[in-house]
Structure 1
Amino acid sequence: MKKSILFFAILMTGLFSPSVFSQTDNEPVALGLPGDNLNLYAVLDIFQKSKTLEDFEKALNDPDNKVNNLDLNDDGQIDYIEVESHKEGNTHVIVLQVAVNNNETQDVAVIEVDKDKKNNIHVQAIGDEDLYGKNYIVEPSDNVSGTPNPGYKGDATVIVNNNTTNNYNTTTSNPDYVSTSVSAWPVVLFLFSPIYVAYRSPWHWGYYPSYWRPWRPVYYHDYWGYHGHYYRSPYYRRTVVVRNPRYYNNYVSRRNTSVVVRNNSANGRYNTTYNGRDYKRPAPVTRPARPGNTTRPVTRPANPSTRPGNTARPVTRPVNPSTRPGNTTRPVTRPVTPTNPSTRPAVQPTRPATRPVTPTNPSTRPAVRPTQPLTRPATTRPATTRPANRGGSERR
């Protein structure tokens, strides 16, 4: 009885465990930004399958590929993605952009194809900051040999740029031919061929090809179901490092942005694409360590004396200046002349207790003043008698 119960438990676990794990693996991953409706992994996959940039633009807007789900102007219809290329030396910058209206254009992403001095080719798809946030970059993984899409077979004429033999036209009609590296992608061979001419989409707002018909965008959870396998694919990876920042910065200086897109994003109009359902954020991507610098410490030591190659440095600095190296003959104490007022002589010279006899203060004047006579000497004035009659008798 116990064995039958145990067998039944194991059987039920085996039946339900795959669905549990698949539900966990298939949980939608979203940035919460408008770029969630244009999967850059799928864009890069279509890019490596295309023969020319014109084919690449057509494949992006093909409803059967289910790659373009952008509605930036929020009119309920899918936006047409235009492709425009620029060449600067050995670097090709392919810009993906959308005409939001008759006056504004919003860049969606940039694909950089760069050839270094060793003729190694690097491809990166860099999402625009307004749609994907900062440093959202997808590139072919270096950990897997072969093309990111091993099922793709080049069964048509491919242009090869071989500077040694100058053999530019090579036909690969073998159906078993599989491109083995990024440098063998048909579109990459086209970009570096002598017949390449910079491409600019002939279509713009209100004027689109006859084969294109806009359709209503789907909710993000349905859209993620089309491309969720790319997040577990070993052929692509996310990074935050721009391989050629010089040319990317040149592009940023002429980057197209739209006020309509910024306002719609700020007002939360793009959130309706999630239909109120939950999703998980993508795992943060850290900047990889620089090659040849693996011995660099992760964190700086707190004590400067413990830095590599500086073990002879004293741990603590001398407190007393007299103990500094090479200064042993310096006197420990300073000259006797006091500089601190607290070390001045306690006894000051006494001042004379008595002042000179000569009084300088009016309070030392003689207390007795010479007495003045109380009575003044009587002085008698000579009596004067006037004549009783001034010549009256004499005048007749």
Structure 2
Amino acid sequence: MKKLSLLLLLFLGVTIYAQDTTTVTAASEDISENLDLEAVAAAFGDSKDLEDFENKLNDPKEKLSNLDLNDDGEVDYLRVVSNSDKNTHVVTVQAVIGKDQFQDVCTIDVQKDSKGDTQVQVVGDVYMYGTNYIVQPVYVTAPVIFTWFWGPIFRPWYSPFYWGYYPPYYRPWRAIAIHNYRYHARTYAHHRHSYNRANVRINNNVNINVNNRRNDLAVTRPDNSFQKRNKGVTNKQGLSNRAATTNNRANTNNRANTKNKRDGKATTGNKVSPSWKPSSRERVHKSTRPSTRPSTMPGSRPSTRPSTRPTSPSTRPSYNPSSRPSSRPSTRPNTRPSTNTRPSTRPTSRPSYNRSMPSRSMGTRRR
């Protein structure tokens, strides 16, 4: 009975501990990697209006966002608000991070120039992406949303959704690994469109949307800004360039190590001490080891076998056929008879023809 009670208590303790323990895996080293602004620009160009744009950003099937700013284990809902002034529209994308708490993620400037052409720029928030991180999409064809912006039925969009109140189609999902999200977002972004980088905003009146700005996360976590998260980098573009340089350097080192292993020169990558000397055993046997140094002649194959042929022409022995001993002396007597043993019955000379011999007459009869 006591053993049964102890086993029951042990089982309950393990169960309670397993329920209280939660493992959280970070999706990325930097939060800016969890929302690709090129994918945002692609979704904007594929939408018919701003309501449809907000639906695409939060579609559980597309999963264009991987942001989890409030660290609750689920991707944050992204709402869309806008404002306009004459030929300029400013669309702001905000993450819903709590009750009456929102954080600006990016803004989309839509402006018509003097020629009547519409230009679009997606500008990352300074807290999220650093300064002057601007993505300028190049659409193959004019998006339908342009007609909605400049048409007679346009009206500013302000999302009615907030913390705890979402559209019926929305189902929150958990953040995925950053390399999986990066591949998915770039595949979606580049299926039809291309993108450029810009350093100057086309929108000169950046205060159009000032009443809609929200930076609650930046206020509560000021030490988590992009500049403090990434020392020595201006914006996400510089962060991407630094990561690409690191990857290229790592690939170069891997190729060099592979070549050294193939050539028998593999190293650990650690620096050699100036006072280092080979052991006495290595110094003794160094001269007896076969040479593995490849030939300096172009096109020649490296030889790992020690050479035993004389190198000096004067020491090479001359060849004398008569002095070469037989390598296999014959001790077997020759008892095989000659093959020409039959006497020849063929006359050695042909008899000459004598014209004086009498010829036999064909008509005489012998008596």
* TM-score under structure 2 length normalisation: 0.51
In 2, Cα distance between equivalents of 1:216 and 1:31? 13
Question: Does the C-alpha gap of structure 1 residues 261 and 224 become closer, same or farther in structure 2, counting only changes over 3 Å?
Answer: farther
Question: Does the C-alpha gap of structure 1 residues 84 and 234 become closer, same or farther in structure 2, counting only changes over 3 Å?
Answer: closer
Provide, for residues 145-186 of structure 1, a one-character-per-residue CA deviation record: whole Å limited to 9, x for no partner: xx34xxxxxxxxxxxxxxxxxxxxxxxxxxxxxx3xxxx210
Q: Percent identity?
A: 39
- Find the partner of 2:196 among 230, 237, 262: 237
* Greater RCO (CA < 8 Å, at least 6 residues apart): 1
- Find the partner of 2:126 among 129, 132, 153: 129
Q: Does 1:62 align with 2:59?
A: yes
Provide, for residues 270-296 of structure 1, a one-character-per-residue CA deviation record: whole Å limited to 9, x for no partner: x9xxxxxxxx93238xxxxxxxxxxxx
Question: Does the C-alpha gap of structure 1 residues 129 and 252 become closer, same or farther in structure 2, counting only changes over 3 Å?
Answer: farther
In 2, Cα distance between equivalents of 1:50 and 1:101? 27
Q: Give the aligned partner of residue 226 of structure 1.
A: 184
Distance apart, 1:264 and its partner CA: 8.4
Distance apart, 1:98 and its partner CA: 1.5
In 2, Cα distance between equivalents of 1:260 and 1:75? 17
Q: Give the aligned partner of residue 200 of structure 1.
A: 158
- Uncovered stretches (5+) of structure 1, i.e. residues with no partner: 1-29, 142-146, 149-178, 272-279, 285-396
- Find the partner of 1:190 among 145, 148, 162: 148
In 2, Cα distance between equivalents of 1:219 and 1:264? 26
Matches within 5 A, 1:10-25: none
Question: Does the C-alpha gap of structure 1 residues 58 and 265 become closer, same or farther in structure 2, counting only changes over 3 Å?
Answer: farther
8 Å CA contact retained: 1:31, 1:132: no
Provide, for residues 229-251 of structure 1, a one-character-per-residue CA deviation record: whole Å limited to 9, x for no partner: 5589971112221112x222444
8 Å CA contact retained: 1:112, 1:123: yes
Q: Does 1:216 align with 2:213?
A: no
Distance apart, 1:62 and its partner CA: 0.6
Question: Does the C-alpha gap of structure 1 residues 265 and 41 become closer, same or farther in structure 2, counting only changes over 3 Å?
Answer: farther
8 Å CA contact retained: 1:36, 1:132: no
Q: Does 1:99 align with 2:96?
A: yes
Matches within 5 A, 1:1-396: 33-141=30-138, 147-148=139-140, 179=141, 184-228=142-186, 235-244=194-203, 246-251=204-209, 255-259=213-217, 263=221, 266=224, 281-283=239-241
In 2, Cα distance between equivalents of 1:105 and 1:68? 16
8 Å CA contact retained: 1:31, 1:281: no
Relative to its length, the structure with more helix (as a share) is 2
Provide, for residues 172-204 of structure 1, a one-character-per-residue CA deviation record: whole Å limited to 9, x for no partner: xxxxxxx3xxxx210111011011111111111
- Uncovered stretches (5+) of structure 2, i.e. residues with no partner: 1-26, 230-237, 243-367
8 Å CA contact retained: 1:100, 1:260: no
Question: Does the C-alpha gap of structure 1 residues 218 and 93 become closer, same or farther in structure 2, counting only changes over 3 Å?
Answer: same
Secondary structure of 1:114 counterpart: strand
8 Å CA contact retained: 2:28, 2:177: no
In 1, Cα distance between equivalents of 2:120 and 2:55? 20
In 2, Cα distance between equivalents of 1:68 and 1:267? 20
In 1, Cα distance between equivalents of 2:169 and 2:191? 33
Q: How many residue pairs get matched?
A: 207
In 2, Cα distance between equivalents of 1:104 and 1:129? 18
Distance apart, 1:254 and its partner CA: 5.6
Higher radius of gyration, 1 or 2? 1
Question: Does the C-alpha gap of structure 1 residues 267 and 82 become closer, same or farther in structure 2, counting only changes over 3 Å?
Answer: closer
4+ long deviations beyond 6 Å: 231-234
Distance apart, 1:265 and its partner CA: 6.4
Distance apart, 1:117 and its partner CA: 2.0
Distance apart, 1:140 and its partner CA: 2.0
In 1, Cα distance between equivalents of 2:191 and 2:46? 20
In 2, Cα distance between equivalents of 1:97 and 1:241? 22
RMSD: 3.2
